[in-house]
Structure 1
Amino acid sequence: METFFGRLKNEMCYGFEKDYPSFQAFSKAIAEYIDYYNNSRIQAKTKWMPPLYRKSRN
C-alpha cells in the first residue's frame, strides 16, 4: 500500500495541485489512476505485460 500511495502522490499530486478545478474532478482522476494501476500498467517484473493479463495466464 505504501508503494501505491507514494506513486499516486508522485504521479498525480505533486506539482499538479492546480490541475483539478474541483474535488469531483480530482476524485475522478484518482479512480482512473487506480483503474490504470490495476489493469494497464506494465513493468519489468511482469515481463512487460499488464497485471491482469499476467494473472489470467497463470
Structure 2
Amino acid sequence: RGESGTAAPNVLERDFSATQPDEKWVTDVTEFKVKEQKVYLSPVVDLFTQEVVAYRVAKNPCLPLVTDMLTEAISTLKPNSKP
C-alpha cells in the first residue's frame, strides 16, 4: 500500500548498551487505544539511563508529533553532547 521510503542505516547494529549519558538515544512511535480512540506516543529514551528524555502524545501520527518531541529532547542536551 503506497510507496516505502529508504531505510535508515543500522547505526546501532542492535547494540543497545551505552557507556555514558546522551551517547545513544532511541525513538519510536507507538499506537495505543484509549477509550476506543487511537492515541500515538513518540518518546526518546537514553539507552544509558533507560529514562525518557522527552515525549509527545497525539491523536494522529503527524510529523509534529515527532519533530516537537525531538526539539524538546535536543533542548535538554549539555554542550558537546552528541547522541
TM range (shorter): 0.3 to 0.5
Whose radius of gyration is greater, 1 or 2?
2
Alignment TM-score, normalising by the size of structure 2: 0.30
Structure showing the higher helix proportion among its residues: 1
Structure showing the higher strand proportion among its residues: 2
RCO comparison, higher one (Cα < 8 Å, 6+): 2
Alignment TM-score, normalising by the size of structure 1: 0.38
